[in-house]
Structure 1
Amino acid sequence: MNVEEIEHVPEGTASPGKALFMLLKAFVGTGVIFLPGAFVSGGLVFSICLMIFIAAICLVAFQILIISQRHVKASYGEMGSILYGPWLRYIILFFLCLSQMGFVASYLIFISQNIGLAVDYLSHCTSPIDSKYYIWLVLLVIIPITWIRKIARLSWCAIVADVFILFGLICVLYFSSAQIAQHGPGPNIQLINPTDFGLMIGTAVFSFEGIGMVVPIVEGMKDPEKFPKVMNMGLPIVAAIFILIGTIGYVAFGDQTYASVVANLPKVPLSITAQIVYAAAMILTSPFMLYPALTIIEQALYGKSGLLGERSGRINIKWKVVKSFTRSMIAVICAIVSFGVGQDGLDKFVALVGSFACIPLCFIFPGMFHYKVTTNKWAKIGDLILTLFGLGMMIYTLYVNINSWVHPSASTRAVPDPCPAT
């Protein structure tokens, strides 16, 4: 997957300003809406400090990733193959698939929840359909889009989704600020949550979901050597936006904050519009998030070195149908996971994706890459520390997350009822 396919910029032509814009688009996306709910798990002070810390570590990791890319001149997966052998490339592709499918599965839960909220509002809470069943309705929209091979044809989807996300975030800030102004801080705000703070770590890493676009953005720049300055400017802006939305959302609704703060907005036409628009943004974003997984799995099955050998849909229409069916089943798998998790488990699922799939991509692999390309002894020590830090964080957050599933009573999280009995 290259920058031309995703961002529709001819390779080697983007200015630093254009690169900064693409960087902000890549990171400030749909994942930010989960942060206020994650602040419930971490507590206000801990969450703010953690976001600053994660942003700083990400900045270091992304910088050494770019140094490695400029040295090797290859994509993320190919760097693993060149520096360590094919085995690491396969592992990287596995985590890329897992992270992208995890993003889409969490999006489907969010989308179905928002559709349910809109239906409850319009029907005055008389609808007999549980919101999780809307996942299958959304799936019918997403599946045909996955059949499109050239994602550049969906450029209009990306533009519309960006506008919708911006509108949704403005509405979240407006209604959250109004809630604080009218009613003061929400209930049971903690500075540090000693029970669930581990879940916040996974969600914090999840929110930096643009890691996969760092290398393509560099490849699309006219002067790639200027990208470190772009990153130094862009990532603090991203962190500031994340902290702003997380803080205002959590302070507004306290421990009654949903996994997705959009669900906390008051039941008025503007907020319902925001919920519908944000859900639409996620529907439009899902094909882009799923595209890397579709490509990787399709190549693993039908590529030159795939399990079934090279199979071209251009030559034989039968294989085009088979490939489309495979793409459809990947989307179906995401839907099945979403349906099984449900909205009550959304916060824990987002943290799980961040812990297991995103931490290796953000911290472990960049450290491993740079360890191979640098000759500086102290830099190698730093790379080892970053890699071991990522591995330790991954193990710890996985333990906390699995424990929250096995022993749900250990969680202090409360979820409000959008349709309370009267």
Structure 2
Amino acid sequence: MGPAAREDTPLLGKERPLSSQFKTFANVFIAIVGAGVLGLRYAFKRTGWLMGVLTLFSVAALITHCMMLLVPIRRKLGAANIGSFGDLGFAVCGPLGRFLVDILIILSQAGFCVGYLIFIGTTLANLFNPTTTLTLSHVSPKSLYIWGCFPFQLGLNSVKTLTHLAPLSIFADVVDLGAMAVVIVEDVKIAVEQRPDVVAFGGMSVFFYGMGVAVYAFEGVGMVLPLESEMKDKEKFGKVLALSMGIIALLFGAFGVLGYMAFGDETMDIITANLGPGLVSSLVKLGLCINLFFTFPLMMNPVFEIVERRFWSGMYCVWLRWLLVLAVTLVALLVPNFADFLSLVGSSVCCALGFVLPALFHLMVFKDEIGWKQRTFNSGIVLLGLVLAVSGTWSSLSEIFNWN
């Protein structure tokens, strides 16, 4: 494979020292924990708390398995030429494989950013509680705040390298952890005091909806190969990944269950809508918005890399970045519901990235070396991913557009 076929991954850099097990654990944690967790409590309201927990842990186990399928594929094909998921797609299926991976990564990463803007716009609109819309321009408060983010995001997304954004990223993560801790404490207090009625199973009609949100919450397959490459003791990467995903699943499950147990049928799709008035509540809402605001350019960076590589010879292009930020903003203005959109992205794109492609690539590369059990299992994952993608996408679109 010539150098032109390789997709570089500047997020990690070529000269960095190899990572310890703890640093790899921390990197997995940062890569996975994002806006998806904010939609879990509403998903648990829809699915029931027990069905939600079972779905969440099933997705965590299956997606961890699929992530680990990528490592032996790279080792068999030649690790020196494969630094990313896109490289792997090229090595297995040629230009078509890379194109498919690139498209899905663009849709997933841009989808995350759309969710960020929806959350920010809705939360700020609720926080400052405007009583009227702008009658002259017919702009809703939510839309006004989303547009208010636009010029600042143009500036942040114009930064050439992620190194310059690292301090903002660290600040955003600290603020996010603090805000989430306060939310959990409030949930426990409210759940003990009010004890609202909750259900364990919401019925099979919402199963695919819950699957979509869970897959969205755990999506991070694109980070597996870069993180495995930079780990010092690569033989222990599987154990570190499994431990990381297990702990994250426990945190996600606790967050979703406690949120639903606190508010029951009153659980809103935006978690901040359930927080009452007061200084602490306002600070939590602002903290979550700040986190997502500064995470936006980090999530868009893979999109910029792919688009600039395909349309601008891999060189920095500010106007392409601005067009992409504008497109994400326009989509955010059109989507009414945060959690429904998470389910849509999780079902349509993340299922393909997290389930279908890893299992399919493994089947193609090891077709003559694996037994019938592994072949059947991988084929089942591909089929499950396709079924979830089709059914979950239809379920989420039905919710968004209120189809009957």
TM-score w.r.t. the length of structure 2 is 0.90
Specify which of 340, 345, 353 is matched with residue 345 of structure 2. 353
- For residues 216-227 of structure 1, the aligned pairs below 5 Å read 216-227=226-237
Specify which of 75, 83, 93 is matched with residue 92 of structure 2. 83
- For residues 176 and 127 of structure 1, the distance between their equivalents in structure 2, rounded to whole angstroms, comes to 32
Deviations 1:262-308 (A, max 9, x none): 2211111101101001100001101011111111111111117xxxx
Aligned 8 A contact 1:119 1:127 in 2: no
- For residues 328 and 56 of structure 1, the distance between their equivalents in structure 2, rounded to whole angstroms, comes to 38
Specify which of 34, 41, 45 is matched with residue 46 of structure 2. 41
- Look up the SS of the partner of 2:257 in the other structure: helix
Report what 1:303 is aligned to: 313
1:196 aligns with 2:206: yes
Structure 1 residues 68, 260: CA separation in 2 closer, same or farther (over 3 Å shift)?
farther
Aligned 8 A contact 1:43 1:197 in 2: no
Letter of the structure 2 residue corresponding to residue 288 of structure 1 = L
Distance apart, 1:142 and its partner CA? 1.0
- For residues 353 and 20 of structure 1, the distance between their equivalents in structure 2, rounded to whole angstroms, comes to 26
Report what 2:239 is aligned to: 229
Structure 1 residues 167, 126: CA separation in 2 closer, same or farther (over 3 Å shift)?
farther
Specify which of 21, 37, 55 is matched with residue 60 of structure 2. 55
Specify which of 372, 387, 390 is matched with residue 395 of structure 1. 390
- For residues 31-180 of structure 1, the aligned pairs below 5 Å read 31-72=36-77, 73=79, 74=82, 75-120=84-129, 130-180=141-191
- For residues 250 and 36 of structure 1, the distance between their equivalents in structure 2, rounded to whole angstroms, comes to 5
- Look up the SS of the partner of 1:6 in the other structure: coil
Report what 2:358 is aligned to: 366
Deviations 1:50-100 (A, max 9, x none): 011111111211111222233332120111111112112101100000000
1:333 aligns with 2:334: no
CA RMSD, aligned part only?
Answer: 2.0
Aligned 8 A contact 1:206 1:353 in 2: yes
Deviations 1:91-132 (A, max 9, x none): 110000000000000100001112112212xx7x57865223
1:239 aligns with 2:264: no
- For residues 246 and 145 of structure 1, the distance between their equivalents in structure 2, rounded to whole angstroms, comes to 32
- For residues 245 and 32 of structure 2, the distance between their equivalents in structure 1, rounded to whole angstroms, comes to 9
Structure 1 residues 7, 271: CA separation in 2 closer, same or farther (over 3 Å shift)?
farther
Structure 1 residues 142, 178: CA separation in 2 closer, same or farther (over 3 Å shift)?
same
Q: Which runs of 5+ in 2 are unaligned?
A: 1-6, 135-139
- For residues 21 and 8 of structure 2, the distance between their equivalents in structure 1, rounded to whole angstroms, comes to 18
Aligned 8 A contact 2:31 2:220 in 1: yes
Aligned 8 A contact 1:65 1:370 in 2: yes
Structure 1 residues 269, 7: CA separation in 2 closer, same or farther (over 3 Å shift)?
farther
- For residues 387 and 398 of structure 1, the distance between their equivalents in structure 2, rounded to whole angstroms, comes to 16
Aligned 8 A contact 1:176 1:265 in 2: no
- Look up the SS of the partner of 1:233 in the other structure: helix
Letter of the structure 2 residue corresponding to residue 138 of structure 1 = C
Aligned 8 A contact 1:40 1:250 in 2: yes
Structure 1 residues 269, 143: CA separation in 2 closer, same or farther (over 3 Å shift)?
same
- For residues 11 and 372 of structure 1, the distance between their equivalents in structure 2, rounded to whole angstroms, comes to 33
Distance apart, 1:164 and its partner CA? 1.4
Distance apart, 1:33 and its partner CA? 1.1
- For residues 291 and 298 of structure 2, the distance between their equivalents in structure 1, rounded to whole angstroms, comes to 11
Aligned 8 A contact 1:33 1:262 in 2: no
Deviations 1:183-233 (A, max 9, x none): 113x55453244433211111100013222222111111122210010121
Deviations 1:315-369 (A, max 9, x none): xxxxxxxx21110110111110110113xx2221111111111111100111012
Distance apart, 1:170 and its partner CA? 0.4
- For residues 269 and 12 of structure 2, the distance between their equivalents in structure 1, rounded to whole angstroms, comes to 29
Moved more, 376-385 or 39-48: 376-385
Aligned 8 A contact 2:335 2:400 in 1: no
Aligned 8 A contact 2:214 2:346 in 1: yes
1:22 aligns with 2:27: yes
- For residues 76 and 281 of structure 1, the distance between their equivalents in structure 2, rounded to whole angstroms, comes to 27
Moved more, 72-81 or 94-103: 72-81
Aligned 8 A contact 1:370 1:380 in 2: no
- For residues 163 and 14 of structure 2, the distance between their equivalents in structure 1, rounded to whole angstroms, comes to 10
- For residues 16 and 188 of structure 1, the distance between their equivalents in structure 2, rounded to whole angstroms, comes to 40
Aligned 8 A contact 1:13 1:221 in 2: yes
Distance apart, 1:392 and its partner CA? 1.5
TM-score w.r.t. the length of structure 1 is 0.86
- Look up the SS of the partner of 1:299 in the other structure: helix
Moved more, 69-78 or 97-106: 69-78
Q: Which runs of 5+ in 1 are unaligned?
A: 305-311, 314-322, 411-422
Give the total of aligned pairs: 386
- For residues 275 and 402 of structure 2, the distance between their equivalents in structure 1, rounded to whole angstroms, comes to 30
